[in-house]
Structures are given as structure tokens and as C-alpha cells.
């Protein structure tokens, strides 16, 4: 998660694929670690980001999920950040 006020707040790196259970855990931890803040989370439409269980967790933990237009990574700010990270690690 990147905050426009606090910068990089939280991230997770996994060796293998990121499953929905991993994403649900990430959302819960994100809320626990940021209990004093309103959280508006911009997401792409990746399969792990959608579904009834994600909606249930987001409602339970008062997370506002905002979904990007499908096939529009240029509108997702995190993509620019990851591109910079990838470039840095290639060096």
C-alpha cells in the first residue's frame, strides 16, 4: 500500500503465486496496522481482489475498495511505483 501522505506503508512479497487467502490476510493486517486512518484502496480487477469474501472482509474492516477500469494499468498509481522498483533491482 502506498499513501499519498506516508509513502510506502505495507507490501508483501511471495515466492509463489499470491492467493486470495493471502490477499484477505493482507487486508486484515492493513486495517490492524492503520486503525486510525480511513483506508481507500485502489485495486485492479485481479481475480484475488474480487469476490464475496473480499467484500465481506472489506465491509467488516471498514475498507473502501475502489476498482480501476479493467485493462487500465496506466490509471493505477502502484504500477508506476512497481516499474521504478523493477528498474532499480535490474541495476
- Residue 11 belongs to domain with CATH number: 3.30.420.10
pTM of the predicted protein model: 0.74
Q: How many CB atoms lie within 10 A of CB 27?
A: 21
Catalogue the E-assigned strands of 10-67: 39-43, 63-67
Segments forming the whole domain that contains residue 69 = 2-90
Tally of domains in the chain: 1
**Contact partners, residue 11, CB within 8 Å, separation at least 6:** 1
Cα dihedral 51→57→62→65 (10° resolution): -30
Name every residue whose Cβ is closer than 8 Å to that of residue 47 and which is 6 or more positions away in sequence.
Answer: 20
- List average pLDDT for each run of 10 residues in the chain, which is 91 residues long: 74 83 94 90 88 96 90 75 77 62
pLDDT at 43: 87
Amino acid at each position: 500500500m502506498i499513501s499519498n501522505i506516508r509513502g510506502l506503508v505495507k507490501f508483501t512479497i511471495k515466492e509463489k503465486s499470491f492467493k486470495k487467502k493471502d490477499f484477505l490476510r493482507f487486508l486484515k493486517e492493513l486495517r490492524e496496522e492503520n486503525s486510525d486512518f480511513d483506508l481507500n484502496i485502489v485495486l485492479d480487477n485481479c481475480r484475488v481482489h474480487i469476490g464475496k469474501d473480499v467484500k465481506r472482509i472489506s465491509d467488516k474492516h471498514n475498507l473502501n475498495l475502489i476498482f480501476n477500469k479493467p485493462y487500465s494499468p496506466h490509471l493505477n498509481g502502484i504500477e508506476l511505483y512497481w516499474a521504478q522498483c523493477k528498474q532499480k533491482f535490474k541495476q
